[in-house]
Amino acid sequence: MTTPASSKLVLLGPPGAGKGTQAELLSARLGTPHISTGDMLRSEISQGTALGVRAKGFMDKGELVPDDLMLGIVRQRLARMDCNEGFVLDGFPRSVPQAVSLDDICGGASPGKLRALSLDVPTDELVRRLTERRTCRKCGAMYHLTFEPPKRPGICDKCGGDLYQRDDDREEIIAARLEVYRKETAPLLTFYRERSALVEVQGTGATEQVFRRVVASLGVPA
C-alpha cells in the first residue's frame, strides 16, 4: 500500500520566486495554514518585541536571522493545533541546519511526511518582481505595480491598509539576498531531492498558470 502524500509542505525558491503568492493560494485550496516566517518576523518588528529588535538588524542587511531565533518561533508555531493536518511553510527552512531541525520536528522529510516545492525563476525576473513588489502594512497581502496592481494606488484591496515597499526590496539589498539564497538556501534542493521529497516547478508565467502547475505537480485534487 502506498502512503498518501503529506500536506506538510515547505516552499523553496529565491526571494521573489512567488513563494508567498503560491503559499496563499495553496493554503486556501488545502485548508491548511500559510506560515510565513518573513511575515512573522515583520510582525515582531512592528510590535517592537525583543525578537523583532534583534531580527531587524539582519533583515535590513538581507542576511539570515540566526537559526536559534528562527527555530524558537517556528517550533512554537508548528505546535499549534491548526498545523495537525498540515501546513504551507513559506520562508523556512532557509539553511541546511534549519532543514535538519525541521526533520526533527516533523519526523523526517519523505513523500509521506513532508515535501518541498521549489519554484524556479530566472534572476532578471526575480529582480523585476522584487523591485516593484508592494506589501500591505496591515494584512501582509502582496501586490506588484505592473503584474498585480491594487485597484486603488497605494491601498490594499483586501483590508484598505496602506501599501509600502519593504526596506529589503531595494536593489542593493536584493543582490545580497540573492547571494545568501545561492550560498545558504540552494543546497536544500539537494537535501530534499536525496530524500525523494522534492517537487520542482517552473515559476514563470502568470500567477494562475504557476498555480495550476503547482497543484498538478503536488497531485492536489482539483
Active site residues: 19, 94, 133, 166, 177
Please identify which residue in 41, 73, 109, 136 interacts with Zn ion, judged by CB under 5 A. 136
Nearer to Zn ion, 97 or 161 (CB): 161
Please identify which residue in 34, 115, 133, 195 interacts with ligand ADP, judged by CB under 6 A. 133
Instruction: Name the nearest CA neighbour of 65 among 73, 77, 74, 57.
Output: 57
Nearer to Zn ion, 52 or 150 (CB): 150
Helix 50-61 / helix 37-47 crossing angle, nearest 10 deg: 120
Nearer to Zn ion, 8 or 34 (CB): 34
Secondary structure of residue 109 in the 3-state scheme: coil
56 binds, options Zn ion, ligand ADP, none, Cβ within 5 to 8 A by partner type: none
Q: How far is the CB of 74 from Zn ion (least distance, A)?
A: 24
Q: For residues 102 and 114, what is the distance between their CA atoms, to the nearest angstrom?
A: 10
Instruction: Name the nearest CA neighbour of 109 among 179, 196, 42, 16.
Output: 196
What is the 8-class DSSP label of residue 62?
T
Q: How far is the CB of 129 from ligand ADP (least distance, A)?
A: 3
